[in-house]
């Protein structure tokens, strides 16, 4: 098929590249001319494991191209994908203006009947509004909701082995066309959930909020563990061994971040409000997440004697999760803002996210290329993202690099991945999330 993807971000680039790998001719379009120029030079705008090789291969075979405009023959495409951002507006509801801009663009360019597949995460009813725009075209254009479920860090793998492909369409023809498009991803079994556009739009928000809710529940429990002396590791193990609950995605930590959970949970709450339905769980999930950042800061302050002015805090892990360079809404952003506001100096390291983090804070923070260099003279180290390279560090080296004053250096392990005894043995203090103090 001939396909066009609007938006060359995490979703558009992975989807467009994946579809070209399956044998389709794909044009990826973005309004960001710099992004497109970089892609022409072979520079991939995001870090996603396995993606750059795949882009290179498909560009070479001429099945994948990048432009800022849609020219012939792509004005006669079979499917136009909308994969542009839907960031939170002032009140937390999703800003879908870029989606409507793309819909208007498609009306302008399309020279033959086509489908318009909505990959962007949009509030229930948006596809109907997009259809009203598409009805102005000279040719028949039909919108289908086709929400994206890729996980940053494993996006390429998720594209080729999706848990499910959700399609919300009105016509049989549209359902059939998407079945055909995704057939190569269904060889080992049918993973398609076919429904109406409104249910499909809601599935996406419901899924992200359900996942975020698990995280917030564990975070709330971690605070209760801290207050009562219970151990979140044991609580997780005991809860998770019930097969109805399961152990996956059941971790306490610094709070969820990224470009999806925070905005989608709030957008669901707003969607409910605008329809007169109070989404108590979505609203609480968000509140608990905000409170976790405050809890984390209270642990740093307590560990450094109550005064952060002039203290140096090192951060390991700036991206919101491992294997991505995305720092949008990352816990590192909240923690850094709080540390700076209290007069602390912040030095960060991340295997891939340093450049985005530095671009966000400018000269208010320092980032280092080597992980241990971030520790030089630091009073505390906060581990924020559980990248593999941080899992078994040399604690002796960490101790040598950090500042030992009247207090031993503090290691705040917000992902609970280190063994407290290793840190105490190396002559430092350990603080986890919801773990009782270590006693030798
Ligand atoms: N990132 C994820 O993990 C993920 C997962 C599932 C769903 N989503 C959803 O997919 C959508 C895209 O997310 P993303 O993370 O890929 O966003 P992104 O910010 O990485 O990329 C969006 C791109 O769209 C471009 N753009 C904006 N307006 C445009 C226009 N009018 N025409 C062409 N291009 C335009 C931007 O320049 C940018 O490059 C969002 O709705 C998001 O909620 C994201």
**All structural domains of the chain with their residue ranges:** 2-195, 261-431
Q: Catalytic: 28?
A: no
Report CA(99)–ligand 1 centroid distance (Å). 10
In the CATH scheme, what is the homologous superfamily, with its name and number, of domain 2-195? NAD(P)-binding Rossmann-like Domain (3.40.50.720)
Give Cα separations from 105 to 6, 32, 68, 154, 340 (angstroms).
10, 15, 12, 31, 43
Nearest CA to ligand 1 atom 20: 9
Task: Report CA(377)–ligand 1 centroid distance (Å).
Answer: 40
- Ligand 1 pocket test, pick from 8, 17, 155, 259 with the greatest ligand atom count within 8 Å of Cβ, gives 259
Q: CATH for 261-431, among 3.10.20.90, 3.30.310.50, 3.40.50.720, 3.40.50.300?
A: 3.40.50.720
How far, in Å, is the centroid of ligand 1 from the Cα of 367?
A: 27
Residue 363 burial (10 A CB sphere; 0-12, 13-18, 19+): exposed
* Tokens, residue 96: 């879908």
* Ligand 1 surroundings by CB, under 6 angstroms: 6-12, 29-32, 35, 83-86, 98, 101-102, 119-121, 148, 150, 152, 259-260
DSSP 241: T
115 bridge partner residues: 79, 142
Residue entry with tokens 């009073």: 379
Tokens (6 digits) for 11: 């979703």
Are 9 and 148 within 8 A, CB to CB? no
CA-only gyration radius of the chain, Å: 24
What are the E-state strand segments in 89-173?
A: 114-118, 141-145, 165-168
Give, for all 440 residues of the chain, the pLDDT tens digit.
999 999 999 999 999 999 999 999 999 999 999 999 999 999 999 999 999 999 999 999 999 999 999 999 999 999 999 999 999 988 888 999 999 999 999 999 999 999 999 999 999 999 999 999 999 999 999 999 999 999 999 999 999 999 999 999 999 999 999 999 999 999 888 999 999 999 999 999 999 999 999 999 999 999 999 999 999 999 999 999 999 999 999 999 999 999 999 999 999 999 999 999 999 999 999 999 999 999 999 999 999 999 999 999 999 999 999 999 999 999 999 999 999 999 999 999 999 999 999 999 999 999 999 999 999 999 999 999 999 999 999 999 999 999 988 889 999 999 999 999 999 999 999 999 999 988 77
Same fold for the pair 2-195 and 261-431? yes
Query: Which sign does the torsion angle of CA 364, 370, 375, 380 carry?
Result: positive
End-to-end CA distance of the chain: 65
* Sheet arrangement for strand 429-431: 366-367, 345-349, 312-316, 380-383, 410-413, 429-431
């Amino acid at each position: 098929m001939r396909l066009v993807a609007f938006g060359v971000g995490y979703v558009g680039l992975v989807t467009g590249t994946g579809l070209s790998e399956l044998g389709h001719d794909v044009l990826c379009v973005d309004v960001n001319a710099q992004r497109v120029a970089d892609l022409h030079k072979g520079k991939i705008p995001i870090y996603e494991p396995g993606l750059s090789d795949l882009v290179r291969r498909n560009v070479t075979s001429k099945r994948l191209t990048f432009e800022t405009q849609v020219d012939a023959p792509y004005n006669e495409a079979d499917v136009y994908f909308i994969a542009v951002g839907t960031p939170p507006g002032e009140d937390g509801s999703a800003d879908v203006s870029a989606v409507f801009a793309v819909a208007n663009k498609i009306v302008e360019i399309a020279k033959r009947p086509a489908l318009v597949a909505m990959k962007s995460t949009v509030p229930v009813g948006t596809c109907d509004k997009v259809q009203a725009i598409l009805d102005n075209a000279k040719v028949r254009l039909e919108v289908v909701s086709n929400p994206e479920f890729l996980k940053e860090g494993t996006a390429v793998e998720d594209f080729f082995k999706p848990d499910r492909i959700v399609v919300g369409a009105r016509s049989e023809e549209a359902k059939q066309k998407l079945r055909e498009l995704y057939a190569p991803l269904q060889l080992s079994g049918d993973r398609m959930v076919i429904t109406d556009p409104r249910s499909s739009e809601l599935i996406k928000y419901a899924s992200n909020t359900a996942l975020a809710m698990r995280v917030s529940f564990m975070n709330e429990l971690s605070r209760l563990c801290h207050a009562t002396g219970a151990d979140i590791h044991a609580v997780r193990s005991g809860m998770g061994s019930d097969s109805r609950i399961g152990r996956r995605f059941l971790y306490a930590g610094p709070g969820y971040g990224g470009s999806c959970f925070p905005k989608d949970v709030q957008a669901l709450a707003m969607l409910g409000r605008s329809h007169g339905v109070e989404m108590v769980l979505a609203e609480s999930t968000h509140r608990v997440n905000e409170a976790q950042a405050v809890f984390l800061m209270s642990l740093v302050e307590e560990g450094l004697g109550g005064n952060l002015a002039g203290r140096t805090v090192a951060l390991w892990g700036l991206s919101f999760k491992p294997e991505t360079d995305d720092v949008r809404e990352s816990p590192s952003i909240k923690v850094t803002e709080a540390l700076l506001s209290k007069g602390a100096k912040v030095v960060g390291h991340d295997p891939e996210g340093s450049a985005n983090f530095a671009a966000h804070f400018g000269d208010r923070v320092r980032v280092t290329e080597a992980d241990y260099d971030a520790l030089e003279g630091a009073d505390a180290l906060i581990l924020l993202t559980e990248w593999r390279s941080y899992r078994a560090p040399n604690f002796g080296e960490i101790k040598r690099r950090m500042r030992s004053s009247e207090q031993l250096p503090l290691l705040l392990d917000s992902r609970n991945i280190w063994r407290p005894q290793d840190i105490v043995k190396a002559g430092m203090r350990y603080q986890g999330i919801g773990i009782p103090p270590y006693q030798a």
